[in-house]
Amino acid sequence: MFSAILLEKNDAGVTAGVRAMEESSLPEAANPVVMSVSYSTVNYKDALAITNRGPVVRKWPMIPGIDGAGMVLESSHPRWSVGDAVVLNGFGVGETHWGCLAQCARLNGNWLIPLPQTLTARDAMAIGTAGYTAMLSVLALEDAGVAPGDDPVLVTGASGGVGSFSTALLAARGYRVAASTGKASEKPYLTQLGASEIVDRETLAVAGKALQKERYAAVIDSVGSHTLANACAQTRYGGVIAACGLAQGMDFPASVAPFILRAVRLFGIDSVMAPIALRERAWAELGKAMTSDTLQVIAPTTVSLAGALNTAHALMEGRVRGRVVVDLNQ
């Protein structure tokens, strides 16, 4: 038997609860690896699934949890042996395939990467998809030629998971970071992560002109909607934007002016189906960049499976700073 959060759909709606499950109930997977999950986390997508606020879950019943870190218990995959320490991010886990808010998961071995040697399983879940997406975004900017310089990089949704890691990673690499937040009370936190200026998110959240004062060399945006449109309008000539989220909205009410008059480039970031080589590159960089001090600042809180249910609601209500780790043995 193992414990898991189970999401069930019935006539009354969707229920979420901690349940005792039989290992035999785990769904089949190609190239199967059974993983003992020691830590997971609550991402924005997990919170949407648990609170049923977005169409994340595609099959019912579902165990949520798009991230997991733990150890291989059984393997039919040539790359993995019993006892290997592994990490899972995305690939539809927690959406179409039972996920890692569970003590046990049966996964396709092709979806796994090795836990970087410098990180513990808890560290990896403090980072989770949010930190890995922040790293993918930083790599996209740098691959496009962005380097530390005079103009700052704008990070939106800065006190959230992706935003916190984007701020910390960019600052550690020598960038000046302008952190946009809706919470004035988070200024000390963002300054501690390395932000050199704080931007009131209200200045970006409403419709603005197609071209505005050139302020930023680059942008990591986890918010979308008017915020992304204004970020494009404030990016300097030749600048680069990594669009990775939709916390404000999925719409993009923008003008082509920044792209055709200022040669601004807009890159999309997807963590879910990113190829293994890119994941391993991002996680290797995270393994080098992330100190336990930074992880403790961003993800000081560890909860049980039952606590993950409360965390999902708090996250949807904007009451979570940084990240929350789930200990499957708590």
Pairing type for strands 13-21 and 2-10 reads antiparallel
Q: How far is the CB of 84 from ligand NAP (least distance, A)?
A: 25
List 124, 135, 218, 247, residue binding ligand NAP (CB under 6 A): 247
Give Cβ neighbours of residue 117 (< 8 Å, ≥ 6 apart). 287
Site for ligand NAP in 288-327 (CB under 6 A): 315, 318
Q: How far is the CB of 314 from ligand NAP (least distance, A)?
A: 10
The answer to whether residue 154 forms part of the interface with ligand NAP (CB under 6 A) is: no
Site for ligand NAP in 43-102 (CB under 6 A): 43-45
List 131, 160, 239, 258, residue binding ligand NAP (CB under 6 A): 160
The answer to whether residue 226 forms part of the interface with ligand NAP (CB under 6 A) is: no
Report how far apart, in Å, the C-alpha atoms of 249 and of each of 47, 97, 246 are: 16, 26, 5
Q: How far is the CB of 111 from ligand NAP (least distance, A)?
A: 15
Using CB positions, name the residue nearest to ligand NAP: 160
Q: Which amino acid is present at 240? A: V
The answer to whether residue 137 forms part of the interface with ligand NAP (CB under 6 A) is: no
Q: How far apart are CA 73 and CA 206, in angstroms?
A: 50
Q: How far is the CB of 202 from ligand NAP (least distance, A)?
A: 9
Q: How far is the CB of 162 from ligand NAP (least distance, A)?
A: 4
The answer to whether residue 201 forms part of the interface with ligand NAP (CB under 6 A) is: yes
Contact of 62 with 99, CB cutoff 8 Å? yes
Q: How far apart are CA 37 and CA 73, in angstroms?
A: 10
Contact of 298 with 193, CB cutoff 8 Å? yes
Q: How far is the CB of 132 from ligand NAP (least distance, A)?
A: 8
List 56, 100, 162, 299, residue binding ligand NAP (CB under 6 A): 162
The residue (of 72 and 326) whose beta carbon lies closer to ligand NAP is: 326
Task: Name the strand (E) or helix (H) holding 21.
Answer: strand 13-21
Pairing type for strands 85-89 and 153-155 reads unpaired
List 146, 158, 308, 328, residue binding ligand NAP (CB under 6 A): 158
Query: Binders of ligand NAP: how many residues, by CB under 6 A?
Result: 33
Q: Hey, what are 328's tokens?
A: 């499957």
User: Which has the closest alpha carbon to 248: 264, 231, 263, 235?
Assistant: 231
Q: Which of helix, strand or coil describes residue 210?
A: coil
Q: How far apart are CA 112 and CA 93, in angstroms?
A: 11
User: Which has the closest alpha carbon to 241: 215, 267, 206, 263?
Assistant: 267
Q: How far is the CB of 43 from ligand NAP (least distance, A)?
A: 5
The residue (of 75 and 133) whose beta carbon lies closer to ligand NAP is: 133
Q: At what angle do helices 121-143 and 161-172 cross, to 10 degrees?
A: 70
Look-up of token digits 């300054």: 191
The answer to whether residue 194 forms part of the interface with ligand NAP (CB under 6 A) is: no
Q: How far is the CB of 303 from ligand NAP (least distance, A)?
A: 15
List 248, 258, 299, 325, residue binding ligand NAP (CB under 6 A): 248
**Binding interface with ligand NAP (CB under 6 A):** 43-45, 129-130, 133, 157-163, 181-183, 186, 201, 205, 222-223, 227, 244-248, 269-272, 315, 318
